Chains A and B, each alone.
Chain A
Amino acid sequence: SAVISQKPSRDICQRGTSLTIQCQVDSQVTMMFWYRQQPGQSLTLIATANQGSEATYESGFVIDKFPISRPNLTFSTLTVSNMSPEDSSIYLCSARPRNTEAFFGQGTRLTVV
Chain B
Amino acid sequence: SQQGEEDPQALSIQEGENATMNCSYKTSINNLQWYRQNSGRGLVHLILIRSNEREKHSGRLRVTLDTSKKSSSLLITASRAADTASYFCATGGGGGGNKLTFGTGTQLKVEL
* Residue ranges of A at the interface with B (Cβ–Cβ < 8 Å): 4, 6, 31, 33, 37, 41-43, 45, 48, 90, 92, 94, 96, 99-107, 109
Contact = CB atoms under 8 A, between A and B. Distances in A.
Contacts of B88: 42-43
Contacts of A106: 41-42
A48 B98 contact: yes
B42 A43 contact: no
A99 B96 CA distance: 12
A104 to B, nearest CB: 4
A101 B43 contact: no
Contact of A45 (B42, B44, B99): B99
30 contacts: A4-B42, A6-B42, A31-B98, A33-B98, A37-B40, A41-B104, A42-B3, A42-B104, A43-B43, A43-B88, A43-B102, A48-B98, A92-B42, A94-B100, A96-B92, A96-B98, A96-B100, A99-B98, A100-B48, A101-B33, A101-B45, A101-B48, A102-B90, A102-B100, A104-B42, A104-B43, A104-B44, A106-B42, A107-B40, A109-B40
A102 B40 contact: no
Given A33-B99, A102-B100, 20 more contacts: A42-B88, A42-B103, A43-B43, A43-B88, A43-B102, A45-B99, A45-B101, A92-B42, A96-B98, A96-B100, A99-B98, A101-B33, A102-B35, A102-B90, A103-B45, A104-B42, A104-B44, A105-B42, A107-B41, A107-B42
Contacts of B64: none
Contacts, number: 54
A33 B98 CA distance: 10
Given A90-B40, A102-B45, A42 B98 contact: no
Contacts of B71: none
A99 to B, nearest CB: 6
CB-based closest 10 A-B pairs: A104-B42, A101-B45, A43-B102, A106-B42, A104-B43, A42-B102, A42-B104, A42-B105, A107-B42, A90-B40
